[in-house]
Amino acid sequence: MNRLGARLAILLVIFAFGTWAAWSFVVDDAYITFRYSAHFAEGHGPVWNVGGDPVEGFTNFGWMSWLAFLGWMQLDLLLVAKLTSLVVAVIILVLLVRETEDGAWLAGGAFVVFLPTYFHLSGGLETIAFAAVVLRAAIVGIRVLQDKRVWDWEPPALLLVAGLLRPEGVLATLPAVALWFWYERDRPGPKRALVAAAVLGAAYFGWRWIYYGQFLPNTFYVKFGDLTAGGEWTKQTLGLFLPLLLLMLGLLIRKETRAIGGLLIAMVVLTYATYALSGPSMDYLGRFAYHAFPVLCLGAGFAVTEIGNRWVAIGVSTVAVGWVAATGATAKDLPTMANYGTDLRRAHVAIGEGLAAADVPEEFRTIAVSDAGAIPYFSGWNAIDYIGLNDEAIAGGADPTDVVKAASPMVIVVTSYTPEVSDVMYGLRVAEATEGYVDVVQVRMREGYWQHVYVKTGWAPQVGDAVRASVEEAQSTIDPGRYDSTVDRWLDRLRTGRD
């Protein structure tokens, strides 16, 4: 086995352990994408509610479509989402080790010891896939600078795929694609490939604008523009990856590496620009910062090879890898997220499955929720998302209480942070919205997090019985009696195999 293979084998052992440890994790938002994918696979189109006005409550069209294709093949969406991310994460590791050579211990080591890697891998969203495309675009740009061969179709394809995975992907990959095109501007092949990608991208954008009736995904109108939160996000991200950032900046010092450093810095800055301006929500375990994390690993790996003294290089690599390991393992939200998938199964999934089993005619199966992932997905009921991610009216400023009252759903699920319900939750005036409803079951997800299921009075007995039975079974079999958000609880499950 050569040195590259030996390094990769050792890193894969760590990677395999981390993947196993976080495999039970899934985030509620993933089920929003799964709902669109399932409806698409069933022939209804990428819609939130079958038969309803289309709304684009997701920002990952390419990922959603990939899962829709796999769903059309009758595959389990959560499993194939995890497996896809697993394969892509291995590809990221191989690319980092192969491209950085003597810097592989830093680049690959930082990647595998950063604990959030494994939660993003298992979470069900496009995080790993998007990060991989941005990384590959960076590598292509570096190959251009090194006068190495680049296929004419690859940079435009990466630009297109990145934009389909997330709208800001066009911005993130633009420096590498622009650099490639500048170097190849006199050849017809690159021009044809770029025009083809532009035509396909424009066709997609035109279709989605006509289909959904909005210039940007609905989620942008809910989330974008919080500069204060964006500033806080930027500070947290700097602390998370500081040694990697400093090493990458070090590439600017020497003339031989200045162009590579400039390219990588431009890609990181443009990847992060959107989030710095918006303060992204559901940013668990540095999810949005992770989009450029492999590029930071790549840049740091290149930089450490430029250090002339071997022992200094080893020391710098050790500090950088140790820093990333420490920031990942001490993330403020790790105790909550390490148990999140288990807690979601015994609360939100159980509620959704109970609603699906309830004896309610199809035309009355309507629900209003704030946690709009697993409950709507597993229930199969038409849903109102009163946070507004999947509701154009609320995203546009409509009062959530007025929207919910006008729809008069069969069930309203209200989140609370105590066993008692707050007067107002996510803009919903609870007492007003639930007048004529019965709070049939209070479902504890974890410490300080509950779901209250309100049902119209006439239907409360049968719906309440179905949901209660589903929840009681889940709570008695899935990590029973443990509601603490602690790392110890997660480790206890790993030690005992109980989940």
Of the candidates 266, 293, 283, the residue with the CA atom closest to the CA atom of residue 230? 283
448: left (phi over 0), alpha (psi -120 to 50) or beta: left
Of the candidates 153, 191, 168, 126, the residue with the CA atom closest to the CA atom of residue 267? 168
Q: How does residue 278 score in pLDDT terms, banded at 50, 70 and 90? A: confident
Cα–Cα distances (Å) from 96 to 242, 262, 348, in that order, read 19, 19, 38
Of the candidates 95, 113, 122, the residue with the CA atom closest to the CA atom of residue 26? 122
CB 374 within 8 A of CB 349: yes
Mean pLDDT value of segment 80-85 = 99
* Helical pair 350-357 and 460-477, crossing angle rounded to 10 deg: 140
- pLDDT given for residue 455 in this prediction: 98
Give me 148's structure tokens: 């190495």
Cα–Cα distances (Å) from 224 to 102, 275, 392, in that order, read 41, 9, 15
- In the chain, what are the domain boundaries? 3-332, 339-496
What average pLDDT does the structure give for the chain? Answer: 95
Evaluate if residue 499 carries a pLDDT over 80.
no
Q: How does residue 498 score in pLDDT terms, banded at 50, 70 and 90? A: confident
Mean pLDDT value of segment 149-158 = 96
Evaluate if residue 472 carries a pLDDT over 80.
yes
82-86, 264-268, 392-396: which has the minimum mean pLDDT? Answer: 392-396
CB 439 within 8 A of CB 452: yes
Q: For 84-112, what is each residue's pLDDT tens digit?
A: 999 999 999 999 999 998 899 999 999 99
Instruction: Return the CA Rg of the chain.
Output: 24
Cα–Cα distances (Å) from 285 to 120, 123, 134, 336, 499, in that order, read 8, 11, 19, 10, 22
Mean pLDDT value of segment 6-23 = 96
Please tell me which residue, 428 or 497, carries the higher pLDDT value.
428
Measured between alpha carbons, how far is 387 from 434 in angstroms, rounded to an integer?
16
Of the candidates 419, 444, 171, 467, the residue with the CA atom closest to the CA atom of residue 291? 171
For 347, which DSSP code?
I
101: left (phi over 0), alpha (psi -120 to 50) or beta: left
Of the candidates 19, 38, 31, the residue with the CA atom closest to the CA atom of residue 120? 19
pTM: 0.96
Mean pLDDT value of segment 461-480 = 97
The sign of the dihedral angle between the CA atoms of 183, 189, 195, 200 is: negative
Give me 54's structure tokens: 């289309």
- pLDDT given for residue 225 in this prediction: 58
CB 355 within 8 A of CB 463: yes
- pLDDT given for residue 5 in this prediction: 86
Give me 499's structure tokens: 């989940």
Evaluate if residue 62 carries a pLDDT over 80.
yes
Share of the chain above pLDDT 90, in %: 92
Measured between alpha carbons, how far is 126 from 30 in angstroms, rounded to an integer?
9
**Lookup result for tokens 């896939």:** 129
Q: How does residue 200 score in pLDDT terms, banded at 50, 70 and 90? A: very high
CB 180 within 8 A of CB 190: yes
| Residues contacting 83, CB < 8 A, separation 6+ | none
Q: How does residue 4 score in pLDDT terms, banded at 50, 70 and 90? A: confident
Q: Residue 388, SS3?
A: coil
Measured between alpha carbons, how far is 97 from 420 in angstroms, rounded to an integer?
52
Measured between alpha carbons, how far is 348 from 353 in angstroms, rounded to an integer?
9
Instruction: Report how many helices (DSSP H) and strands (DSSP E) the chain contains, helices first.
Output: 24, 7
Of the candidates 180, 193, 189, the residue with the CA atom closest to the CA atom of residue 144? 180
- pLDDT given for residue 226 in this prediction: 66
Q: Which amino acid is it at 244? A: L
| Biggest alpha carbon–alpha carbon distance for the chain | 78
For every residue of 318-344, DSSP letters joined together read HHHHHHHHHHHHT-TTHHHHHTHHHHH
